[in-house]
Structure 1
């Protein structure tokens, strides 16, 4: 009978959906174990919940709020349902949202293409796939993903980046780029004739991050003005389209096939062509073996690299910009922390791995930035079969086949139970870099204090080491040159593909 059931599950379309329908209709929990989640209602009138627990065209621009809707009034609960919630609508696969770091770590670790492991859930990124391609590190699963990961491992790996000769070349070009952009800001301040000037830094950071990737890492030669006036605006619009396309394009029709009947479609096609052009510019140095391309050992033809290069470009504009702007935004609101970073970096002229490792307070600032305001605010996974998950403390949970899993890093990192005074020495929702010193002094093992800022497990971000290098250099150089304060006290987030400060990182800055 068991073999027959398994055969039906694997070979009869819709069998699993049909067999679980009775339980769904009677609201029977589909999960088992000693860490079972509590149920969230699809509609809950009178609860004052901020929105529905699913994206639609009226709420998709605030995904953090959608995640919050799962945990509305959850703090009043005791037991595993406090941090693990599920939505189960008849006819659809269950959705499990967890802000439990133990479960996040266990599920992320068990991601792969072997029996009983989880795939990355591609549902939240269909818009990205339509804009870049499905054969990418971000979107692909299984054997295709492993092949893509192997191709990217060498040039992006820590071993390659931090080889003395390789690192010095990258550090020199990165530093020259950052210095020239700092000089632009310095000149802007001088020309104003004032002691200080107020500007939004996000546009400046975006250009720096894109320039470091295109010119320093890939070896292209694109002018600052072209990046700022042409390529950054086009990529910003492409990314905005990706977010809306994921929710609104229910039929999955590639918008490139739409007739050019409106200004919006015409503009979208122009932006796509600009994206293609920029991708070609960073691919061209491959033939000359410039910059990173010297470390690229694959024989894959250029056409097979285009999709991933698009993802890297979008990532430079999204994830690294998010990381750097949040760090600056926090330091703008914490002058004591800013001065401590300055004292640590003021005499640093040459950044080496050893120097970066020795800048312990800057490192703590960056870790605290990723904890409190991670770029990757949730990690999507999907159960490929009925799967038992065991957390490090022994808690177990059976997750049924097809379940969509949202590993809610944003709220896990902000909850008192996990990162509050008792756990880390400081309130969970405050920016406190000394938290990391307290955790080290208390003997907490690194594996117990994960902020998941670059993801976790086999699908950890391949650009982690490059991103840390770029952001550490940018933030260090900015603090070394300017004093700066936030233009407003509050620091809310806006979220799309990644999170960023809602005020555009608007600061008032003066020369040191």
Structure 2
């Protein structure tokens, strides 16, 4: 990646935008290279596009449709514009949207804190920053981000998480909670004389994920019922507020100010108080050295950690819940895949990295889940200089300074050329774990099969290993305990901070016969 030297225009704030206005009015493409994107019109009446190509109060709850708008009619193109599009509105920096996997990988690789590298674009995270603080690993860039990333490395790394005693703590917490849930389910089925129950699984998954996060990772002591009935609903509403606030609160007014005029914001104010209480409980366990706090190598005061703890609590809950519910949702619609996973996990009684490694088809199911329905459906970046990126296949793109970049992971993972029948043996837009077996037989390199489920490069998600640990445990155990099917075959997505099944993962489930005697002692887990 190369960047040009600064100019007189660059050194005067706002002048660069003014100079670019004539070019923007004339529709002159500011990009260049082999991957040069095609321009998207701001307004296109009669085009049949799904929506406008930017978030506004009428469409902000449908971000995937906004991304689809950029590629409306793209299949008719043969050049680089088929997978690379841009919006250029006079007076504003251009917006580049790409679903080209090679371009996505090149930009993620060139993201960092060195001069001329890409930053994480903070514009889509303004609501998160107002809710948690700006001094976070998520919102920061440059040297400050690098320092925080180094601090987070110890507790989040494989070395800390993938230890026998750590697995035992997660497993024991999970066994206790599952036993409680299983006893309630069995009692319900017996009292109603039913063999199966139809329920949305997402609320149970969220409570379970938050308990493992708070109890096992942070070592805080908190009753499960309080987690499920108080903190999970409060966090759900906080996250919904964050999504709305990012788009509609252009003045940046605080919840405390808005609560004076609206009942909705008074509820948000109460939810933020619950969020603060949960954060306090987590920080209290730090001083006891509980959980993975003992791995945290920093003497920073608690107040300097609050924002990051909040981001982690909300972000990890969102991402792991998305990952687990999508996996269960897909398996509910593919009974053959569900039974193959069951055959692998049925004989596993002790959760460990070695046992998980042996369940290869289960691993393919999880990879396919992240490919087809990633939690992080786009990754935001911003060009800090006029620069050129080169893809692994030798193509290039010149990107002007200030460009807002949306790396459209959701649609990149559905491009037929990359993931379709010719390349993998299965259509790109269907759930087919067997495609990963085909890719392995072909000897495809990992860089050619990146699904960007946790991002990539220097700013890869720091909670990747924790997420893999929790989701493998939860989904493996769910398959081992229950036989389940989807209430409907349609499986649309809803998207906000992350994506999830729109139906709340509504399934019909029944206990597997072998789960009943085990549950009286300790439920088996994957």
Task: Tell me: CA distance 1:367–1:5, structure 2 relative to 1, closer, same or farther (3 Å).
Answer: closer
Residue deviations 1:75-112 (CA, integer Å, cap 9, x gap): 10011000000000000000000000000000011101
Instruction: Give the match for residue 419 of structure 1.
Output: 419
Q: CA RMSD in A?
A: 1.4
Q: Is the 8 A contact 1:181 1:208 kept in 2?
A: no
The runs of 5 or more residues in structure 2 that have no matched partner are 513-526
Deviation of 1:179 after TM superposition, in Å, equals 4.4
Structure-2 separation of matches of 1:371 and 1:268: 34
Task: Tell me: CA distance 1:198–1:369, structure 2 relative to 1, closer, same or farther (3 Å).
Answer: same
Instruction: Give the match for residue 113 of structure 1.
Output: 113
Moved more, 17-26 or 332-341: 17-26
Q: Are 1:378 and 2:378 matched, yes or no?
A: yes
Alignment of 1:424-443 (within 5 A): 424-443=424-443
Alignment of 1:130-141 (within 5 A): 130-141=130-141
Moved more, 15-24 or 103-112: 15-24
Structure-1 separation of matches of 2:278 and 2:372: 33
Q: Is the 8 A contact 2:388 2:398 kept in 1?
A: yes
List, as ranges, runs of 4+ consecutive aligned residues in structure 1 with deviation greater than 6 Å: none
Task: Tell me: CA distance 1:332–1:5, structure 2 relative to 1, closer, same or farther (3 Å).
Answer: closer
TM-score, structure 1 as length reference: 0.97
Q: Is the 8 A contact 2:53 2:66 kept in 1?
A: yes
Instruction: Give the match for residue 227 of structure 1.
Output: 227
Task: Tell me: CA distance 1:419–1:91, structure 2 relative to 1, closer, same or farther (3 Å).
Answer: same
Q: Are 1:104 and 2:104 matched, yes or no?
A: yes
Structure-2 separation of matches of 1:171 and 1:409: 32
Instruction: Give the match for residue 169 of structure 2.
Output: 169
Q: Are 1:198 and 2:170 matched, yes or no?
A: no
Instruction: Give the match for residue 158 of structure 2.
Output: 158
Q: Secondary structure at the match of 2:219?
A: coil
Moved more, 158-167 or 278-287: 158-167
Instruction: Give the match for residue 311 of structure 1.
Output: 311
Structure-1 separation of matches of 2:181 and 2:315: 20
Deviation of 1:147 after TM superposition, in Å, equals 1.4
TM-score, structure 2 as length reference: 0.95
Q: Secondary structure at the match of 2:153?
A: helix
Q: Is the 8 A contact 1:124 1:380 kept in 2?
A: yes
Structure-1 separation of matches of 2:32 and 2:340: 49
Q: Secondary structure at the match of 2:377?
A: coil
Q: Is the 8 A contact 1:182 1:478 kept in 2?
A: no
Q: Is the 8 A contact 2:170 2:212 kept in 1?
A: no
Q: Is the 8 A contact 1:200 1:506 kept in 2?
A: yes
Deviation of 1:183 after TM superposition, in Å, equals 4.1
Deviation of 1:318 after TM superposition, in Å, equals 0.9
Task: Tell me: CA distance 1:176–1:398, structure 2 relative to 1, closer, same or farther (3 Å).
Answer: same
Deviation of 1:182 after TM superposition, in Å, equals 4.1
Structure-2 separation of matches of 1:126 and 1:88: 22
Q: Secondary structure at the match of 1:91?
A: coil
The runs of 5 or more residues in structure 1 that have no matched partner are none
Q: Are 1:290 and 2:278 matched, yes or no?
A: no
Instruction: Give the match for residue 61 of structure 2.
Output: 61
Instruction: Give the match for residue 329 of structure 1.
Output: 329
Structure-1 separation of matches of 2:337 and 2:107: 35
Instruction: Give the match for residue 218 of structure 2.
Output: 218
Structure-2 separation of matches of 1:330 and 1:468: 17
Q: Is the 8 A contact 2:316 2:463 kept in 1?
A: no
Q: Is the 8 A contact 1:199 1:507 kept in 2?
A: yes
Residue deviations 1:461-498 (CA, integer Å, cap 9, x gap): 11111111101110111111111000001000000000
Structure-1 separation of matches of 2:270 and 2:202: 24
Q: Secondary structure at the match of 1:510?
A: strand
Structure-1 separation of matches of 2:59 and 2:224: 36
Q: Is the 8 A contact 2:167 2:351 kept in 1?
A: no
Size of the aligned set, in residue pairs, is 509
Instruction: Give the match for residue 143 of structure 1.
Output: 143
Alignment of 1:418-497 (within 5 A): 418-497=418-497
Structure-2 separation of matches of 1:5 and 1:282: 47
